[in-house]
Amino acid sequence: MSPRLRFALIGCGDFGTGFGRYALAVADIVALCDPQLDRAEAAANELGLQAATYTDYRELLAHEELDAVLITAANFVHAEITIAAAEAGVHVYCEKAMARTVPECWQMVRACQQSNVKLMVGHKRRLRPPWARMIELTRDEFLGKPLSITVAQYTDMRPYHMYETWWADPELSGGALARLGVHVVDWFGAMCGPASRVWGLYGPQNDSRWPTPDVINATFEFSSGALASLNSSSLFPVHAFRQAQGPIGQCEHGGFKLNPQMKYIDLYWQRDDEAQLHHERFDDLGFDHAFRLEISDFARWILEDRQPCLTWVEGLRCVEMMEAVYRSAEKGGLPVDLPLYPELEQPSKL
């Protein structure tokens, strides 16, 4: 039987505790950390753990015998915690967005490579069944390669009270797309392969409480020639949270459209050579499946060195695409070629 892995959960805010539940299926959580001790204690309590709690991840790393850390802390500390964990010889699972900038991502990669520890970045959207199904539809026997995809990520972020938090500060979060768009940007990469050129524009600012743009228009060109566009707005009141953001796409042999509802997701697709429209309903939104897949693959990667569903590569490329959008928008929409930092590129040893 495989040994039971020993994980620490670092970052016990809105997301950390829920994610900890999935981790408990594959590992023991032996320690938790959050600068706000009450959060670490509440998470331990909710997860039913008799685990040590810390306010400083450095102390945690110094005192605990660990196989891995799960970083579910705010984006601005992803890089420093990853580097410290790597230096302590501990594997790292880090939540999206991998970091705030591409150079930070490369520092994380280098630290993990130097210490020979694994680094996975969680990007659950591409693993959720309806979204994974759209990727599957790009196989030749279905719709074939994507030619163009459009996503209108119109979501009302105002009820989430993020204005006073790190999410609102681009220096801490990595910009507006890290809040609204990161999942779609990663999924574009999963659908279309490597991006080669990016255009970005900011729309008018309507809500002065955000220091980041309310409206972002981004277009990605991929090495395949495919185009994918994202219109992101954080002020759209009509739809409930999950009803926004459905992609519509044209592929070589037909098209697809996703229609998300709060409790289920409808996918429609049709090949050019078929008279019938396919309709698939996903009654389970697929969060459990995606989180379980990520964390169990991470555990197997550690235990069996089995190729996982995600590594750091997706995380880094997603940050790169988002950073390119900001760079283009700041130049009034001029195209930006990838890679953004050719001098930092290196052979992608996992």
Ligand X SMILES: NC(=O)c1ccc[n+]([C@@H]2O[C@H](COP(=O)([O-])OP(=O)(O)OC[C@H]3O[C@@H](n4cnc5c(N)ncnc54)[C@H](O)[C@@H]3O)[C@@H](O)[C@H]2O)c1
* Site of interaction with ligand X (CB under 6 A): 10-16, 33-36, 39, 57, 72-75, 77, 95-97, 122, 124, 165
Q: How far is the CB of 120 from ligand X (least distance, A)?
A: 12
Closer to ligand X by Cβ: residue 97 or 105 = 97
Residue with smaller CB distance to ligand X, 92 or 227 = 92
Looking at the Cβ atoms of 157 and 226, the one nearer to ligand X is: 157
Contacts of 203 (CB under 8 A, 6+ apart): 213, 214, 215, 216, 217, 233
Q: How far apart are CA 240 and CA 189, in angstroms?
A: 26
Q: Residue 14 CB, nearest distance to ligand X (Å)?
A: 4
The least CB distance from residue 34 to ligand X, in Å, is: 5
For residues 86 and 143, which CB has a smaller minimum distance to ligand X in the complex? 86
For the CB of residue 90, give the shortest distance to ligand X in the complex, in Å. Answer: 15
Q: Which C-beta is closer to ligand X: that of 247 or that of 254?
A: 247
Q: For ligand X, which residue has the nearest CB?
A: 13
Tokens of 81: 């915690």
In the complex with ligand X, the residue whose CB is nearer, 34 or 221, is 34
Residue-wise DSSP of 273-313: T-SSPEEEEESS--HHHHHHHHHHHHHHHHHH-PPPS--SH
- Min. distance of Cβ 45 from ligand X in angstroms? 15
Compute the distance between CA of residue 164 and CA of residue 55 in angstroms, rounded to an integer.
22
In angstroms, rounded to a whole number, what is the distance separating the alpha carbons of residues 350 and 348?
6
Return the closest-CA partner of residue 249 out of 312, 335, 293, 184: 184
**Smallest separation (angstroms) from ligand X to the CB of 161:** 11
Cβ count within 10 A of residue 83 = 19
What is the smallest separation between the CB atom of 40 and ligand X, expressed in angstroms? 8
CA distances from 135 to 132, 148, 342 (A): 5, 13, 28
247-251 vs 254-260, strand pairing mode: antiparallel
Which CB atom, from 62 or from 334, has the smaller least distance to ligand X? Answer: 62
CA distances from 272 to 126, 131, 223 (A): 25, 21, 24
